A and B are shown apart, each in its own frame.
Chain A
Amino acid sequence: MASADRSLGPMITCREFEDFLGDYLEGRLAWGARWRFRLHMWMCPECRRYLRSFRRSLELGRRVFAEPDESVPSEVPPELLRAVLAAVRTPDDGDT
């Protein structure tokens, strides 16, 4: 399957499938391209499994990063609060 067939043949290559993937996930493929993308997915178990692992990776990332990060304090460090307040007090007032 040569990529030159792209505009003629209905079947795209795995590499083209990969190129379309981001736009497919974002819902940006025109219907013709979306159709070819899906056709490839139905015909190619490797790409089908690839896409499944790809989505699963993103789901894991999203869920792990939504968890509180154990090394980040649940409260803002008091020295950070103090430093910010000191920096924003207007220096020309001179009464702080």
Chain B
Amino acid sequence: MARRTRDMGTEGGEAAEEAEWVAALRSGDEASYVALMQRFGPRLLSLARSILGNEAEAQDCVQEAFIQAFKKVGGFEGRSPLWPWVRRIAVNACLGRIRARHRQAEATLEAWQPEFDADGCRLGLEPRQLPAADELLASDRVRAAVRAAVRALPEIHRTVLILRDFEELSTGEVAELLGLEPGAIRVRLHRARAALKKQLEPAFGGKGM
């Protein structure tokens, strides 16, 4: 795998190293600022771009997040690793943008939910054979379809899906980050997952991809 940086927290010996780094950040050492931006910047840009669906806005948000982080670093106690702390600031910056935007209609999401008949029986035909994940991921078209399907979700649903399923935060952590109840996160998560699945059906059924 080209990049496996999902958990950018620290373990064991790295903790001492990070404590030194935090001390340098708190003392306002610019080299430590640059190091932090270079270490976390690419991952944050990728995350912000996934949430916002827009490169320029992602850069603005990450820039804003770093500025906020350095202004607040005096209050960072270093009890938790730097990465989740910086990520939280960046996600909040993204959410600020999203709230400022015109609220997106959720009609399309509705169209991607599973359907049932009057007796509660599932409608729609699932393929009998499902291609393996590796086989699907070998196709550039499928990978592009996955990205497009996530991008097509309403922003709040997309954000919940990315944080919960791709960044692998807990439901509680996502709820806290987004200022919503865990129950509200679960509803959005399920609808986002169902919409992702619905949009990927052509890839699974072997029709057109």
**A interface with B by C-beta (< 8 Å):** 1-3, 13-18, 21-23, 26, 44, 46-47, 49-50, 52-54, 56-69, 71-77, 80-81, 83-85, 87-88
Pairs of residues from A and B, 6 with the lowest C-beta to C-beta distance, nearest first: A13-B120, A49-B126, A76-B41, A14-B122, A15-B120, A57-B197
Select which of A2, A52, A68 is within 8 A of B46 by beta carbon: A68
7 pairs, A vs B, C-beta closer than 8 Å: A3-B120, A13-B119, A44-B122, A49-B127, A57-B196, A63-B137, A74-B42
Q: Are B126 and A53 in contact (CB under 8 A)?
A: yes
Q: Which residue in chain B gives the minimum CB-CB distance to A44?
A: B122
Q: Are B45 and A73 in contact (CB under 8 A)?
A: yes
Tell me how many residues of B have a C-beta within 8 Å of chain A. Answer: 61
> How many whole Å from A54's CB to the nearest CB in chain B?
5
* Segment touching A, from B78-86, B91-99, B101-109, B187-195: B187-195
Give Cα A18 to B41, complex, Å: 39
Select which of A60, A74, A87 is within 8 A of B133 by beta carbon: A60
Select which of A15, A26, A49, A77 is within 8 A of B128 by beta carbon: A49
Whether A61 touches B165, Cβ cut-off 8 Å, given contacts A66-B1, A67-B2, is: yes
Give Cα A63 to B196, complex, Å: 14
Which residues of B lie under 8 Å from residue A61 when comparing CB positions?
146, 149-150, 161, 165-166, 196
Q: Are A64 and B137 in contact (CB under 8 A)?
A: yes
Whether A76 touches B38, Cβ cut-off 8 Å, given contacts A56-B204, A61-B165, A84-B63, is: yes
Which residues of A lie under 8 Å from residue B38 when comparing CB positions?
75-76, 81
Residues of A contacting B: mostly: helix
Which residues of B lie under 8 Å from residue A1 when comparing CB positions?
119-120
Select which of A44, A46, A58, A69 is within 8 A of B49 by beta carbon: A69
Q: Are A69 and B46 in contact (CB under 8 A)?
A: yes
Give Cα A71 to B45, complex, Å: 10
Whether A88 touches B37, Cβ cut-off 8 Å, given contacts A61-B161, A76-B42, is: no
Select which of B50, B120, B130 is within 8 A of A14 by beta carbon: B120
Q: Is B33 an interface residue (CB 8 A)?
A: yes
Q: Are A73 and B114 in contact (CB under 8 A)?
A: no
Q: Are B71 and A14 in contact (CB under 8 A)?
A: no
Give Cα A23 to B45, complex, Å: 32
Which residues of A lie under 8 Å from residue B126 when comparing CB positions?
46, 49-50, 52-53
Give Cα A52 to B205, complex, Å: 13
Q: Is B152 an interface residue (CB 8 A)?
A: no
